[in-house]
Structure 1
Amino acid sequence: MPPLRTLLALPVSLALLGLAPTGSVAAGPPPSDTVLSRFVGRGKAPAAALLAHEGSVSRFAHAEPEAEAEAATRPDAASGTAAPAPADAIRPTDRFRAGSITKTFIAAVVLQLAAEHRLFLSDSVDSHLPGLVRGAGTDGRALTLRALLTHTSGLADFTAVTRGSVPLTPVQAVRIALTLPQSRLRSTGGTPIPAPRGLFAYSNTNYVLLGMIVEQVTGRSYAAEAMRRLITPLRLTGTSFPGSRRSLPEPHGRAYAADGSDVTDLDPRVAGAAGELVTTLADLNRFYAALLGGDLLPPRQLREMLDTRTAHGSYGMGLYPVKLPCGTTVWGHNGRIAGSYVRTAATPDGRRVLTFRVNTDATADPDLEPALLAAEFCPRTS
């Protein structure tokens, strides 16, 4: 398995799990560790760190006393506002909800089926789900699987109504989407503009439909196919599709909404094939390394996955590129679901992968994510 690095962030604690990076780099602490220390010093990041190599703990720093004292004075869950998990509860093996990172798994399954000629990306949605997609100016006979994979279908996002808090069947999610106007993009000025079919507009509805199509083609659920094709072969022992199970498998920490309420227990049907996955940091690193390294898809399908031309540079198929200030481009996905924000990024060959998460809906400091990506993937000089 190629060298990987992982980090885990919690409200008052932070964990890193990593292997030595590839190539020749300057001596000193790992670059992302240095960045995290800088953010801790500015009071904008967690205040405890766990560093491990190949799964064995080599250093643990407790939270700063000020951070521990602050956490101790916060109301507990019984009062309606949950206090963060204590620093000593940090475990790099914790299970957590990965949100839209699920889309990379679904896209990989669909592309494997395409490689087996069991479906074609040029297939219409209607050829697999006849009559389902009709309404709001949308016709499944004119939509292709490629449009779903690349978010260029124009289908509205059902979560605009449910806000990710209402458990739904896939059919219910699609029907809600069809009551809405077509997806909208935001211009650079922030003004909403229509996004007709053929333009990129991110919509969870696309991947709910892809999950249904996987089941139509194979006779098994998208979860069963992902388990058989991806999770079991890669030995992703901490990864699962929980279906309707509200609790997280052990071990796990707590998850908090933006208002501080405890949302650890959550019905995954709020997201379905667009965001149901439960996983671990190490499993995500292993999965993205194998995917981008060519272990899961034939070369043609992997090229399709990384081709952003259909989405005009914004998105491939279950992956998107980010060009860093140094000129390096990394590939991956983020995931946001109640109580969890996750980000995985990797070099195009999968030889270096970085994953981090926070156990709330977003990072407290918007500068943290770009700083970590730049520190990990931009070259350092001696």
Structure 2
Amino acid sequence: MRPLRGLLVVPVALALLGPTTADSRPGPGAGATATADTVATADSFLPLLRTRGEVPAAALLADEKSGTRYAESGPDISRSDHFRAGSVTKTFLATVILQLASERRLSLSDPVERHLPGLVRGAGNDGRALTLRSLLNHTSGLYDFARDTGGTRPVTPVQAVRIALTHPPADRGRYAYSNTDYVLLGLVVTRVTGRSYATEAERRILDPLGLDGTSFPGSRTFLPSPHGRAYGTDGSDVTDLDPRVAGAAGELVTTLADLNRFYSALLSGELLPPRWRREMLDTRAAHGSYGLGLIPARLPCGVTVWGHNGRIPGSYVRTAATVDGRHVLTFRVNTTAMADPDLEPALLAAEFCPRTYWNEQAPNGDPGQQHSFE
């Protein structure tokens, strides 16, 4: 349930960035010598996710003007799989909050106390001094309850908040990622609408967009069919999991295609009026680290992509898209984390940096040329 903290440095030989097909399935030895005609894409990184990243299997789905591209590497993973998406849930919940703001049913400047009276009190925490905006952009200073539960112990929303309130707050107004923020936002949606955040998200997002593979499982421990297996960092099978370990901060179950459709619709303006879409992209309060339920990533070629990542036992997923939503990529692995996190920013750069960037970086297609992704 932790976000990508920025783009780290990793050297990647262009020999690993090979051409792809509309439905490529590269094996562990995949790769091709880069030439001036080779377009760097993320597909050839999938075998690296298995070797250097030490994941059992990986898959990605990309949608752009030229069409849809799918790739996979490893056993027991497929394009139609349902999987747990962890903190990607936050973008869905933030969208619901911003829709309610556009309807004037709440204001982002509302104190948390107005909607959840008396709940946020203790150890120096005070809901009267926190706004809904500070929850959305993680500047509330509230302690992350998942640090104490390890992201493995199921808790109710109120229990999660109470765990957080046994700790003093961090500096208010400073960006500090906290799952507690979004658990509170889930409670706010219920207080404002009289319905759960899951019901509101289904009514406002899933049904209009036809996201039939996406659900909020509540306490349901099993995944819908079809699905593969999910593995913890110790190799244990954690496919069956109580989603209350994350709740409103990360319970979502979805598919590659549904995530691409959602982020494309969100960034292209289908789900929010222009003013509120701009609000979602505003990262100033978090000093460029976070918007309102969205994470920006600036790539070495100067392109900034928007989306979110999600980590929950047995699953890691990342969606990134151009700001207009016309080019979107989701990749996933069927374990909790990659051994080499530097692969993620390199994969995003391979997908979203243009052909001209790669040609300039590797004159004459020199496959030995290496690059730093910063």
Normalising by the residue count of structure 1, what TM-score does the alignment of the two structures yield? Answer: 0.79
Compute the displacement of 1:90 (Å): 2.7
Do structure 1's residue 264 and structure 2's residue 274 form an aligned pair?
A: no
Equivalent position of 2:162 in the other structure: 175
Identity of aligned residues (%): 68
Please give the per-residue CA displacement for 1:54-82, whole angstroms capped at 9, x wherever unaligned: 9x99998986xxxxxxxxxxxxxxxxxxx
Compute the displacement of 1:34 (Å): 3.5
Please give the per-residue CA displacement for 1:11-32, whole angstroms capped at 9, x wherever unaligned: x989xxxxxxxxxxx7546622
Please give the per-residue CA displacement for 1:152-191, whole angstroms capped at 9, x wherever unaligned: 0010000111011111111110001000122xxxxxxxxx
Equivalent position of 2:367 in the other structure: none
One-letter code aligned to 1:118 = R
Alpha-carbon distance in structure 1 between the residues aligned to 2:244 and 2:71: 37
Alpha-carbon distance in structure 2 between the residues aligned to 1:155 and 1:207: 11
Alpha-carbon distance in structure 2 between the residues aligned to 1:356 and 1:8: 14
Equivalent position of 1:341 in the other structure: 316
Equivalent position of 1:374 in the other structure: 349
One-letter code aligned to 1:103 = K
Alpha-carbon distance in structure 1 between the residues aligned to 2:119 and 2:166: 13
Alpha-carbon distance in structure 2 between the residues aligned to 1:119 and 1:302: 16
Alpha-carbon distance in structure 2 between the residues aligned to 1:6 and 1:298: 34
Please give the per-residue CA displacement for 1:84-113, whole angstroms capped at 9, x wherever unaligned: xxx2x3320100000000000000000000
Q: What is the Cα-based RMSD across aligned positions, in Å?
A: 3.1
Please give the per-residue CA displacement for 1:19-50, whole angstroms capped at 9, x wherever unaligned: xxxxxxx754662224446x379765779888
Would you say how many aligned residue pairs link Structure 1 and Structure 2? 328
Q: Look up the SS of the partner of 2:307 in the other structure.
A: strand
Do structure 1's residue 303 and structure 2's residue 278 form an aligned pair?
A: yes
The answer for unaligned runs of 5 or more in structure 1 is 15-25, 64-86, 183-194
Compute the displacement of 1:136 (Å): 1.5
Q: Look up the SS of the partner of 1:233 in the other structure.
A: helix
Q: Look up the SS of the partner of 1:220 in the other structure.
A: coil
Alpha-carbon distance in structure 1 between the residues aligned to 2:266 and 2:23: 20
Determine which of 335, 338, 351 is the counterpart of 1:360: 335
Do structure 1's residue 218 and structure 2's residue 190 form an aligned pair?
A: no
Alpha-carbon distance in structure 2 between the residues aligned to 1:207 and 1:59: 32
Compute the displacement of 1:269 (Å): 0.6
Q: Look up the SS of the partner of 1:335 in the other structure.
A: strand
Q: Is contact 2:316-2:336 (8 Å) kept?
A: yes
Determine which of 102, 107, 129 is the counterpart of 2:89: 102
Of 108-117 and 324-333, deviating more is: 324-333
Determine which of 116, 132, 145 is the counterpart of 1:158: 145
Normalising by the residue count of structure 2, what TM-score does the alignment of the two structures yield? Answer: 0.81
| Match runs of 1:132-281 below 5 Å | 132-182=119-169, 195-281=170-256
Alpha-carbon distance in structure 1 between the residues aligned to 2:321 and 2:95: 16
Q: Is contact 1:114-1:121 (8 Å) kept?
A: yes
Alpha-carbon distance in structure 2 between the residues aligned to 1:57 and 1:306: 26
One-letter code aligned to 1:206 = D
One-letter code aligned to 2:261 = R
Please give the per-residue CA displacement for 1:268-319, whole angstroms capped at 9, x wherever unaligned: 0110000000000110000000000000000111011000111121110000
Alpha-carbon distance in structure 2 between the residues aligned to 1:7 and 1:129: 49
Alpha-carbon distance in structure 1 between the residues aligned to 2:42 and 2:144: 34
Name the structure, 1 or 2, with higher relative contact order (CA <8 Å, separation 6+). Answer: 2
Q: Is contact 1:9-1:357 (8 Å) kept?
A: no
Residues 60 and 292 (structure 1), Cα distance of their counterparts in 2 relative to 1, 3 Å cut: closer
Q: Is contact 2:62-2:328 (8 Å) kept?
A: no
Alpha-carbon distance in structure 2 between the residues aligned to 1:162 and 1:7: 40
Residues 380 and 45 (structure 1), Cα distance of their counterparts in 2 relative to 1, 3 Å cut: farther
